[in-house]
Chain A
Amino acid sequence: MNNYIESKIYTVSKLNKYIKKLFEDDFNLQDIWILGEISNFKLHSSGHMYFVIKDKESQIKCVMFRGNNYNLRFMPGDGMKVKARGDVSVYEKRGEYQLYVKEIIEAGKGELYLAFERLKVKLKDEGLFSEEIKKKLPLIPQNIAVLTSPTGAAIRDVISISLRRFPNLSILVVPSLVQGASAAQEIAKKIDFLNKYFKYLDFIIIGRGGGSLEELWAFNEEILARSIYNSKIPIVSAVGHETDFTISDFVADLRVPTPSAAAEMTIPDKNNLINNLSLLKSKITRAVKRNFELKTENLNSISRSLKYQGPENKINQYYQYIDEFSTHLNSSIKHKVELYEERLKKDSQRLDSLSPWAVIERGYSICRKMPGREIIKKLEQIEVGTKIEVIISDGKILSKVEKKEAVSN
C-alpha cells in the first residue's frame, strides 16, 4: 500500500509536463491542418487571438499568438469556415490541450482569393488604383445617388443618417442587385447610366451590408472596377466588411467600411457647419471691433504726442521765448538808458564848470567889438572910438573906446 502510493504520486505540473511531451513527440499532432468553423473568437488586447474551431460533433481550443497573426489578410470571426495550420500541445497551467495556430486561411476561398489577387495586381499595374486620379468629394453634397439593394438595412441606414446630418439633401435611390452572378454587371451599367443622364450628381455611393466573400463578390469583378474607374462622378465604395478590401474599394474615389459609414463620412453635419459659420462670423466681428479700438487708441496717442510736438506747443514755446526775450531786452535797454543818463549828468556838470557864465558870475566880463561881436582879446583889434559891447553877469553895456594903453609885463 505504502509502496504503491509512493511510486504513483506525481505533482500536477509534472503530470502535465509529461503529457505535453507526449503531444509534442507525436508527429501526427505537429504541423497539421484542421478544417472547421471558428467560434467564440476573442482578440485579446495583447494581440493574441483565442477561439475554438469546431465541426458538428466536436471542438478544439485554439490560440494564435500575435507574432503569427499580425499579417493575417482578414479578421477571423465567429462562423467563419477556416483551415488552420499549427501544432497541438498542452497548456500546462490549465491542463488543456489546444491548437497553436500558425497560419489560417478561409476555407474554400482559395480560388476566389487567387482570382482577387490576380485582378488586383493587374488593375494596379494599369493605374486604376492610383491616388492621383481619385476625385475629391465636395464638402456640401446636394445631390447624391445611392446604388444598392432597395430593400436591405443598408439603404434605410444611409437615408436616415444622411437626413439626420443634412436635413435638406436630395437622394436618388438607384435600386440594384448587389449579389449574384449578374450583380457586378448591373451595378456597372447603372453607374454608366448615371454618368450619362445624371451628370450633376455630387457622388454615388455603391455598396451593400456585410456578407460572406461570395456575397460580396460582385464588388471584386473587373467589369465593375472599370465602370468605377471610368465614372466622371466620384464613387464611394461602401461594401460591408471591416478588415479586408474589395477591388471596388481600391478603385473608388473613397472607400468606407459600411453604407452607414458612407453617410457619416460623406454627408456633413449641417448644424456643425452652421455653428462653424457663426463662429467665424463672430470672430470677424470681434477682430474688426478690436481693430477699431486699436486704431482709436493709436489716434488718441498720436494726438497726444501731436500736442507735444505740434504747432500749438511750438507757438507756446515761442511765446515764452518772446516773453523772456522782451524781459531781457527791456532790462538791457533800461541799463543802457541809465548809463546814458549818468553820462549826460556828468557831462552837463563838466559843461557847467566850463561855461563862461560861471566866470562872468565871478566878476569877469567879455568885450565884443561892434558891430561884428568879435571877442576882443588884443589891443590891436580896436581903435579909439570903436564901439564895444561888454557882457556882464546880468546884462550888457554898450560903450566907446577912449584910450588904448598896453600893459607891459
Chain B
Amino acid sequence: MKNKKKVEDIPFEEYLRKLEKIVHKLEEGELTLDESVKVYEEGMNISKICLDKLNKTKKKIEQLVIESEENYSTKAFSEKEGEDTINEL
C-alpha cells in the first residue's frame, strides 16, 4: 500500500484535475450505475474539499520585523510604521 497523502498536502490544482477527470468519465457515459454513483460521490466530496481549501486561510496582513539574525516578530501592517522601520535600518 502506498502511503496516502493527507488532504492538506495535496494541492488544490490536483483536486481540480481530478474533478475534471470525473466530469470527463461521467460524460463518456460508459460507467455502470454502481460506478457512476461512486464517481459522483467522489466528485461531490472533492468539490467540497476544493471549497474548503479556498476558505481555509484567514485574511492576515502582517509586517515582518527582523530584530537580529535569529530573532524576528510580526505586527499588523501599516504604511507609516513601515516607514519608521525602513528608517531604522
Q: Does A367 contact B (CB under 8 A)?
A: no
Asked if A172 and B64 sit within 8 Å, CB to CB, the answer is: yes
* Minimum CB distance partner of A276 in chain B: B16
Asked if A151 and B79 sit within 8 Å, CB to CB, the answer is: yes
Residues of A contacting B55 in the complex (Cβ-Cβ under 8 angstroms): 168
Residues of A contacting B50 in the complex (Cβ-Cβ under 8 angstroms): 273, 277
Partner-binding segment picked from A48-56, A280-288, A303-311, A368-376: A280-288
Asked if A186 and B53 sit within 8 Å, CB to CB, the answer is: no
Asked if A167 and B86 sit within 8 Å, CB to CB, the answer is: no
Asked if A140 and B23 sit within 8 Å, CB to CB, the answer is: no
Q: Complex Cα distance A288/B23, Å? A: 9
- A177-B89, A277-B51 given; A294·B29 CB < 8 A: yes
Checking B31, B74, B79, B82 against A291 with a beta-carbon cut-off of 8 angstroms, the contacting residue is B31
In chain B, positions 12-32 with a C-beta closer than 8 Å to chain A are 12-13, 16, 19-20, 22-23, 26-27, 29, 31
User: What is the minimal beta-carbon distance from B76 to any residue of chain A, in angstroms?
Assistant: 10
Asked if B59 and A291 sit within 8 Å, CB to CB, the answer is: no
Q: Does B1 contact A (CB under 8 A)?
A: no
- A159-B61, A172-B64, A193-B66 given; A284·B33 CB < 8 A: no
Place the interface of chain B in its size category.
35 or more
Q: Complex Cα distance A163/B60, Å? A: 10
Residues of A contacting B20 in the complex (Cβ-Cβ under 8 angstroms): 280
Q: Complex Cα distance A274/B47, Å? A: 10
Q: Complex Cα distance A274/B12, Å? A: 12
User: What is the minimal beta-carbon distance from A344 to any residue of chain B, in angstroms?
Assistant: 72
- A150-B82, A151-B82 given; A170·B57 CB < 8 A: yes
Checking A138, A193, A277 against B13 with a beta-carbon cut-off of 8 angstroms, the contacting residue is A138
Asked if B72 and A284 sit within 8 Å, CB to CB, the answer is: no
Asked if A280 and B40 sit within 8 Å, CB to CB, the answer is: no
Asked if B33 and A292 sit within 8 Å, CB to CB, the answer is: yes
Asked if A172 and B22 sit within 8 Å, CB to CB, the answer is: no
User: Chain B CB within 10 Å — which of A168, A175, A273, A294 has the most?
Assistant: A175
List the count of A-B residue pairs having beta carbons below 8 Å apart.
131
Q: Mark B47-89, 1 if CB is under 8 A from A, else 0.
A: 1001101111111111110100000101001010011011001
Q: Does A169 contact B (CB under 8 A)?
A: yes
Q: Does A40 contact B (CB under 8 A)?
A: no
* Minimum CB distance partner of A156 in chain B: B79
User: What is the minimal beta-carbon distance from B75 to any residue of chain A, in angstroms?
Assistant: 10
Asked if B59 and A175 sit within 8 Å, CB to CB, the answer is: no
Asked if A281 and B33 sit within 8 Å, CB to CB, the answer is: no
Residues of A contacting B7 in the complex (Cβ-Cβ under 8 angstroms): none
Asked if A171 and B29 sit within 8 Å, CB to CB, the answer is: no
Asked if A173 and B57 sit within 8 Å, CB to CB, the answer is: no
Given contacts A139-B16, A280-B19, 16 further A-B pairs with CB under 8 A are: A139-B12, A140-B13, A150-B82, A150-B86, A151-B79, A151-B86, A169-B59, A170-B59, A171-B61, A177-B86, A190-B66, A277-B50, A280-B23, A280-B43, A283-B26, A291-B31
26 contacts between A and B (CB under 8 A): A138-B11, A138-B13, A139-B11, A140-B12, A140-B53, A150-B77, A150-B79, A151-B82, A151-B83, A163-B61, A168-B58, A169-B60, A171-B77, A173-B61, A174-B63, A186-B89, A270-B54, A273-B54, A277-B19, A280-B20, A280-B43, A287-B36, A288-B39, A290-B29, A291-B29, A291-B33
Instruction: Please report B residues at the A interface, Cβ cutoff 8 Å.
Output: 11-13, 16, 19-20, 22-23, 26-27, 29, 31, 33, 36-37, 39-40, 43-44, 47, 50-51, 53-64, 66, 72, 74, 77, 79, 82-83, 85-86, 89
